[in-house]
Amino acid sequence: MKVLLRSLLVPALALAVAAAGPAFASKDVVFAVASTFTTTDPYDANDTLSQAMAKSFYEGLYGFDKDMKMIPVLAEGYEVSKDGLVYTIKLKKGIKFQDGTDFKADAVKVNLDRVTNPDNHLKRYGLYNNNIAKVEVVDDYTARITLKTPFSPFIAQLAHPSTVMISPTALKQWGNKDIAFHPVGTGPFKFVEWKQPDYLKVAKFDGYWKKGYPKVDTITWKPVVDNNSRAALMQTGEAHFTYPVSYELADVLKAKPDLELVAAPSIVLRYLSMNTQKKPFDNPKVRQAIAYAINKEALAKVAFAGYATPAQGVAPQGVEYAVKIGEWPYDLAKAKQLMKEAGYPDGFETELWSAYNHSTAAKVTQFIQQQLQQIGIKTKITLLEAGQRVEKVESWQDPATAPVRLYYVGWSTSTGEADWALRPLLDGESWPPKLFNTAYYKNEKFDADIKNAQLATDSKKKAELYKDAQETAYKDAPWAPLVVEKLLSAHSKKLTGVYVIPDASFNFTEIDLK
């Protein structure tokens, strides 16, 4: 009898273990990213990567899907008053924070009050333009936000990855600074640990409000600075997803049968700004000549290995209300003609600066230098590193003495809409050091269009105003718009549901591992 039992026991155990096997296999995903995170607090981060990582444990009232379309997340819907000042937001019910607190309207008030309070010194203070007058809790699931002046892109600000709902209980417990070391949100994963600078680990939150999600157990975010090392991690299978992939390695990874290379569309626009307040760039013919002289298709091939498309306007496709005006054609003869008409048949000498000092920027500036030489413009290239960039361009106090002339730089708007894609770069009020109008461009019609669009509540009217603004700026040519980059990422074929979205952040709500 004993022998019989024993001989049955082993196979029975084996069967039990085998049956339990698949259920216990943990789905652990590793993301290899390019730099360390600055903080887990999206209200205090201005780098896209930290904000993307924070989506593991935080969500906002609104958000973006994988195609960068705005969708409600924690909000049910909103209503705006006729004068455009009062937004009433209805919240979804039955959502809990990772510490068990219920998500109610008080969370909206606590979070918005925190970032708009200058005493908290949060880096995202300026995102709301000092425009929120007050936030009120109407009832448990309704919040009312009153603005000082109407601002139609307001909901886009609520969709920005910085605007998340942090648990009020956690904020009270940890305070303004330490909340960054103990994040508590409503997101699909809860924070486990951050071993600086090695990795940041998050694990599945069982009480997540979307049933059945998330579909994986843990995500480990690993910052690996060197491009080749990141690619090596993908090849050995130590990481399942990586962004960005450098162009030189794209073909290596594409050739691997168990990896997939993805070139996603982006709203990252690269352009050459020209200081319109200084001779000879105050002459529109000179600026147009420069725009005609650069072959954008060739630029995409040379500097971006083909992973870029020529720019079609001053705001890239994918940004709400962006219009496709058309690629500025490459016409060397016309460029020479315009230079002659402007009074510079033999060209002139000037400075060409780049906002970045990586190898792609080096290639771009050398290419532009060569192209401009064909119409007689001799340029001296300087690649600025971050500190120099801030000192010589961004923080330069007096526009009259600003040294910047030709400047290679890029921009992408994380609110996905036209106001933030155009205003900081081209509005007359946005000259450095206030914002980023490095062309020192000022056009009354453009400024008026932007201002009226902010006040407009009718979306057709907004579209018209933004169209006019973009066409005005395009014709004046304070820039030579260059290319719109494609975002190159790679993932293991076993991994699904992870996307790089057009503003270079990530969307991984549908993440799953086979």
Partner 1 sequence: MLQYLLKRLLGLIPTLALVGLLVFMFVHLLPGDPARLAAGPDATPQTVELVRQDLGLDKSLPEQFVRFASGVVRGDFGRSLRTKRPVATEIAERFAPTFWLTVWSMAWSVAIGMTIGVFSAVWRNRWPDRVGMALAVSGISFPAFALGMLLMQIFSVQLGWLPTVGADTWRHYILPSLTLGAAVAAIMARFTRSSFVDILHEDYVRTARAKGLPESRVIVKHGLRNALIPVVTMMGLQFGFLLGGSIVVEVVFNWPGMGRLLVDAVDMRDYPVIQGLVLLFSLEFVLINLAVDVLYAVINPTIRYR
Say whether residue 226 binds partner 1 (CB under 8 A).
Answer: yes
Say whether residue 403 binds partner 1 (CB under 8 A).
Answer: no
Distance between CA atoms of residues 274 and 249, nearest Å:
33
State the minimum distance, in angstroms, from the CB of residue 224 to partner 1. 5
Distance between CA atoms of residues 464 and 76, nearest Å:
29
Q: 104 or 124, CB closer to partner 1?
A: 124
3-state secondary structure 275-308: CCCCCCCCCHHHHHHHHHHCCHHHHHHHHHCCCE
Q: Which residues ranging from 21 to 80 are in contact with partner 1 (CB under 8 A)?
A: 36, 38-39, 46-47
Q: What are the tokens at 249?
A: 């390695």
Say whether residue 428 binds partner 1 (CB under 8 A).
Answer: no
Say whether residue 228 binds partner 1 (CB under 8 A).
Answer: yes
Q: Which residues ranging from 98 to 127 are in contact with partner 1 (CB under 8 A)?
A: 118, 121-127
In the numeric block, the tokens 């904020």 are attached to: 171
State the minimum distance, in angstroms, from the CB of residue 62 to partner 1. 19
Say whether residue 435 binds partner 1 (CB under 8 A).
Answer: yes
State which of residues 92, 392, 461, 467 lies at the interface with partner 1 (CB under 8 A). Answer: 392
CB neighbour class for 444 (10 Å; exposed up to 12, middle 13-18, buried from 19): exposed
In DSSP terms, which residues pair with 380 in a beta bridge?
351
- Assign 186 to helix, strand or coil: coil
- Return all residues near 394 (Cβ < 8 A) that are at least 6 apart: 432, 433, 436
In the numeric block, the tokens 């290419």 are attached to: 367
Say whether residue 388 binds partner 1 (CB under 8 A).
Answer: yes
In DSSP terms, which residues pair with 382 in a beta bridge?
353
Q: Which of 423, 396, 417, 421 is nearest to 407 (CA)?
A: 396
Distance between CA atoms of residues 347 and 211, nearest Å:
66
State which of residues 175, 197, 207, 343 lies at the interface with partner 1 (CB under 8 A). Answer: 197
Say whether residue 270 binds partner 1 (CB under 8 A).
Answer: no
Distance between CA atoms of residues 314 and 323, nearest Å:
8
- Amino acid identity for residue 172 in this structure: K
State which of residues 67, 79, 193, 198 lies at the interface with partner 1 (CB under 8 A). Answer: 198
Q: Which stretch binds partner 1 (CB under 8 A): 195-203, 306-314, 442-450, 462-470?
A: 195-203
Q: 129 or 186, CB closer to partner 1?
A: 129
Say whether residue 257 binds partner 1 (CB under 8 A).
Answer: no
Say whether residue 424 binds partner 1 (CB under 8 A).
Answer: yes
Say whether residue 175 binds partner 1 (CB under 8 A).
Answer: no
List strand residue ranges (DSSP E) for 371-446, in order. 378-383, 406-411
Q: 2 or 195, CB closer to partner 1?
A: 195
Distance between CA atoms of residues 161 and 138, nearest Å:
25
Say whether residue 391 binds partner 1 (CB under 8 A).
Answer: yes
State the minimum distance, in angstroms, from the CB of residue 298 to partner 1. 28
State the minimum distance, in angstroms, from the CB of residue 357 to partner 1. 10
DSSP assignment string, 457-490: --HHHHHHHHHHHHHHHHHH-SEEEEEEEPEEEE
Say whether residue 395 binds partner 1 (CB under 8 A).
Answer: yes
State which of residues 29, 166, 224, 383 lies at the interface with partner 1 (CB under 8 A). Answer: 224
In the numeric block, the tokens 């022998």 are attached to: 3
Which residues here bind partner 1, judged by CB under 8 A?
A: 36, 38-39, 46-47, 118, 121-127, 129-130, 177, 180, 196-198, 222-226, 228-229, 232-233, 235-236, 238, 385-392, 394-395, 424, 433-436
